[in-house]
Homo-oligomer: A and B are copies of this chain.
C-alpha cells in the first residue's frame, strides 16, 4: 500500500468543488459538492444519537434502499437539525436542485450539514449556489482543496488522505476528506467524512467493510466524548479502476481494499483528533492483552475519554494512576496486578507501572517523553490476546474557551 498526496478526488472519476453560498460570515467557503462520473455503490454509517438531523435521515433512507450515489452536497454553517418538518423540506430542495443540474435522480444525491442547530437552513442560498458548484467541479488539487475547506467549521486545517493498492492487477485508489468536532454557537461537535474509491465492489461488501473499519477508527477517537446529531461517514465506490468486482468478504481483494479503507479512515480520524478543539497533543492508546476484542475497545476508549487523563497530558504529567483508574472505571473486570503501563513518544519511553506495582522513574526522562506532541500510552492488560487502539487529545484551557465562551 502506498500513501500519497490527495483526497476525495484522488480516485478515478471523482470531482469536487467548494464555494461560498453565504451561510457563514466573511464569505468563507461553506458549501461543497462531490460528484462521481458514474453512479457509485455507497455505504454509510451515521450517528447513533437518538436525535438525528434531516440530512442523516435522508442518507440512511436512500442508501438503505440501495440507490447508487452520483453526488453529495455538503454545507457548513447550519446543521439543518431540530427544526421539525422544515428540515426534511430543505433536504428535498437541495437534492432536487442538484439532481436537476446533474440530470440524475434525486435519490442519487446524498446530503450532509454541519453547524448551528435549531435554526432553519437558508436552503435557497444553497440552491442558488448549485450552478457555481457544478461549473467548478474538477478532480484537480485546487478544486479538491476548496471542497475540503468548505466542509470545515472550527477546524484549523483541512483533513485529507489517500492511498493506492493493487487489486486484480489494477491500481485502486482510496481517498477522502473529513471535518472534525468544531463548535459554532449554539451547536455541537460534528464529524463528517467522505471517502471515495474507484474500486468495483458490491454494496453489501462495501457496507460491511465500512462498518468494520469505522468501529476501529472514528469510533475509537474522542475529542470530548459527545456524539452529534449529524455525524456521517460516507463511502462511494464507482468501479472505474476496472478491477473485477469484489463480491466475497473472505477474498484477498476484499481484505486488500479493507486495509486501504482502514488506513484512510485512521489517517482522517487521527487528523481530526490532532486538530481537536484547543488540543495541543495527540494521545494514542495502544492496548494489548485484553480478554476479548470488545473489552479491548472499551478499555482503550475509556483512557482517551477520561477528563482526568486528558488534563494530565496537558500538564505533561506521567500520571499512570489516572490511566489505571480510567481503565477501572469502564466496568470491565480485570486484575490490576497483571496490568503494565508505559508512555512512549519521539522523546523516548518510560515504564511507569508494571504488574500491579509503580515503577520508580526518572522525572527528567518522563518530561522528555511528555513534552512531545504525539504520545503513545502502551497498556498491557495481561488477561488475554485481544488488542485495540484509540486516539484522543488533551483537555486544555482553549477547549473550555472555545466551548464556553464562544459567544464573546
Q: Which residues in A have some Cβ–Cβ distance to B below 8 Å?
A: 47-52, 81-84, 117-119, 183, 185-189, 224-229, 306-308, 311-312, 314-315, 317-322, 324-334, 336-337, 353, 356-358, 394-397, 399-401, 403-408
Contact = CB atoms under 8 A, between A and B. Distances in A.
Contacts of A83: 357-358
Contacts of A328: 47, 49-52, 227, 229
A82 B358 contact: yes
A316 B303 CA distance: 29
Contacts of A311: 399-400, 403-404
Given A315-B404, A399-B400, A82 B321 contact: yes
Contacts of A397: 397, 400-401
Nearest to A408: B315
Contact of A228 (B117, B325, B405): B325
A342 to B, nearest CB: 15
27 contacts: A48-B331, A50-B327, A50-B333, A51-B324, A82-B324, A82-B356, A83-B357, A118-B358, A183-B308, A185-B319, A186-B317, A186-B319, A188-B325, A226-B326, A227-B329, A308-B403, A311-B399, A311-B404, A312-B403, A314-B400, A314-B405, A315-B403, A315-B404, A317-B407, A395-B403, A396-B400, A397-B400
Most B C-beta atoms less than 10 A away, residue of A189, A315, A330, A401: A315
Contacts of A327: 50-51
A147 B151 CA distance: 57
Given A358-B82, A358-B83, A400-B396, A224 B307 contact: yes
Nearest to A356: B84
Given A224-B307, A307-B225, A321 B403 contact: no
Contacts of A227: 325, 328-329
Contact of A226 (B186, B308, B332): B308
A399 B358 CA distance: 26
A168 to B, nearest CB: 41
Contacts of A319: 185-186
Contacts of A400: 311, 314, 395-397, 399-400
A158 B136 CA distance: 66
B395 A336 contact: no
A180 to B, nearest CB: 14
B403 A84 contact: no
Nearest to A226: B308
A341 to B, nearest CB: 11
Contacts of A336: 50-51, 82
Nearest to A334: B50
A48 B403 CA distance: 31
B50 A226 contact: no
A256 to B, nearest CB: 34
A321 B357 contact: no
Contact of A404 (B52, B225, B337, B396): B396
Nearest to A230: B325
A306 B329 CA distance: 16
Contacts of A320: 118, 186
Contacts of A118: 320-321, 353, 358
